[in-house]
Amino acid sequence: FNSPTVCSLPRVTIVGAGRVGSTLAQRIAEKNLADVVLLDIVEGMPQGLALDLTEARGIELHNRQIIGTNNYFDTSGSQIVVITAGLPRKPGMSRDDLLKTNAKIVVEAAKNAIAHSPNAIFIVVTNPLDVMTYLAWQATNLPRERIMGMAGVLDSARFETFIAMELGVLPADVKAMVLGSHGDLMVPLSRYATVNGIPVTELLDATTIERLVERTRNGGAEIVELMQTGGAFFAPASATSVMVESILWNQSRLLPVATYLEGEYGLIDVVIGVPCRLGCGGIESVLELNLTDEEIKALHSSAESVHQNIQRSQEI
Ligand code: TXD
């Protein structure tokens, strides 16, 4: 045989080859979405993970390339860059406790990655999510369509899971949206949650729904408390892969995405989760839902806490 022709396949770079990053690499490769470059600051680690994932290709029946590296040069020409680099929470820590350390890491990662992939769409995963997305947006100077944060898809999946568990129905039949910041002030929209179109409010009483909302708000901490070392990573990786897929395959899915707001919902110069249509250009549009006064108030206090942390981060 002659050497195979080298074709240009979609490439996704994941900065931070920790638990979320490496699981995401596995999801992207095994779903056949793109070739993956896994980058980490720890020498040898991303290379080892990439080799391990590569050795599973024959069994998992895919042929995606997975590269491990410590050098941004190897990330060149990526269509999507996902930033998961940073520290995760320890028991008792809030996401905001990570602010200082992770701000430095994310800004540096975003600047390095954009220098090598000037046309990429960025998805930030590192906590505190909304602030990190804002800082990455500032550091890259990208239009808001091309830089976003993942949290709402995960928080919604958690809410859907708890509803499905309560009702004993298939999780995929439950649809819900959680807006706002990724933290205690997130805004699960119970009145829009359905089981195959039937409003959850018809199926569960208000006290039960409130209990499930509380569990959703506490979803990340519940796992941190159980695991004691690090936080959730399987569902976060799945949630991120859905956003990657919607962008690469131009699916135009309507998902809760952390985005820079320019007046929508009466909010300016802040990043929080709202429904966005995700396609090959990134965020194709931001949907302004009709919210009740109470929901708007909750969204605004969520935004206010992000705003305060953005201010704190600028003082660092
Ligand atoms: O919903 C969400 N957005 C989240 C966010 C859901 C789950 C996890 N969330 C956050 O993602 C979590 O709070 C952390 O801030 C990140 C990554 O979580 P993960 O659990 O993957 O943390 P790990 O396993 O510690 O991995 C972090 C990796 C680790 O391998 C470090 O060596 C690497 O990041 N790291 C770096 N890579 C490149 N460059 C720099 N500077 C760097 N610093 C650390």
The pLDDT score that the predictor gives to residue 144 is 98
The pLDDT score that the predictor gives to residue 229 is 87
Give the residue numbers marked as catalytic. Answer: 182
The pLDDT score that the predictor gives to residue 96 is 72
CA-to-CA distance for 186 and 121, rounded, in angstroms? 25
Pairing of strands 187-188, 35-39: unpaired
Element (H, E) at 263: none
User: Considering only CA atoms, which residue is closest to atom 12 of ligand 1?
Assistant: 88
The pLDDT score that the predictor gives to residue 55 is 98
The pLDDT score that the predictor gives to residue 7 is 64
Element (H, E) at 18: none
Terminus-to-terminus CA distance in the chain, angstroms? Answer: 58
Identify the residue whose tokens are 């680690």. 45
pTM: predicted TM-score of the whole model, two decimal places: 0.97
Q: Which two tokens stand for residue 101?
A: 């350390």
How far is the centre of ligand 1, averaged over its atoms, from the C-alpha of 289 (Å)? 32
Q: Which two tokens stand for residue 108?
A: 């540096």
- Chain centroid to CA 209: 25
Residues with CB under 6 A from ligand 1: 15-21, 40-42, 84-89, 98, 102, 105, 108-109, 125-127, 129, 150-151, 154, 182, 230-233, 236
Give the count of beta carbons closer than 10 Å to the beta carbon of residue 280. Answer: 14
Q: Which two tokens stand for residue 19?
A: 């638990």
SS3 at position 165: helix
The pLDDT score that the predictor gives to residue 4 is 64
CA-to-CA distance for 97 and 244, rounded, in angstroms? 28
Give the count of beta carbons closer than 10 Å to the beta carbon of residue 71. Answer: 10
How far is the centre of ligand 1, averaged over its atoms, from the C-alpha of 31 (Å)? 22
Contacts by 97-102 with C-beta closer than 8 Å and gap 24+?
A: 98/126, 98/127, 98/128, 99/128, 99/131, 99/309, 99/312, 99/313, 99/316, 100/313, 100/316, 102/126, 102/127, 102/128, 102/132
DSSP string, 28-90: HHHTT--EEEEE-SSSSHHHHHHHHHHHTHHHHT----EEEES-GGGGTT-SEEEE--S----
User: Considering only CA atoms, which residue is closest to atom 18 of ligand 1?
Assistant: 88
275 CB contacts (<8 Å, ≥6 apart)?
A: 177, 179, 254, 255, 256, 257, 286, 287, 289
How far is the centre of ligand 1, averaged over its atoms, from the C-alpha of 105 (Å)? 10
The pLDDT score that the predictor gives to residue 36 is 98
CA-to-CA distance for 178 and 288, rounded, in angstroms? 14
Find out whether 188 and 163 touch, Cβ atoms under 8 Å.
no
How far is the centre of ligand 1, averaged over its atoms, from the C-alpha of 188 (Å)? 25
CA-to-CA distance for 271 and 135, rounded, in angstroms? 10
Q: Each residue's pLDDT tens digit in the chain (316 positions)? A: 677 666 668 999 999 999 999 999 999 999 999 999 999 999 999 999 999 999 999 999 999 999 999 999 999 999 999 999 998 777 777 777 789 889 999 999 999 999 999 999 999 999 999 999 999 999 999 999 999 999 999 999 999 999 999 999 999 999 999 999 998 899 999 999 999 999 999 999 999 999 999 999 999 999 999 999 889 999 999 999 999 999 999 999 999 999 999 999 999 999 999 999 999 999 999 999 999 999 999 999 999 999 999 999 887 5
Mutation probe of ligand 1 site: the residue of 23, 125, 186 with most atoms within 8 A of C-beta = 125
User: Considering only CA atoms, which residue is closest to atom 6 of ligand 1?
Assistant: 236
The interface pTM score, or ipTM, of the predicted complex is: 0.99
119 φ/ψ angles, rounded to the nearest 5 degrees: -100, 5
Find out whether 183 and 305 touch, Cβ atoms under 8 Å.
yes
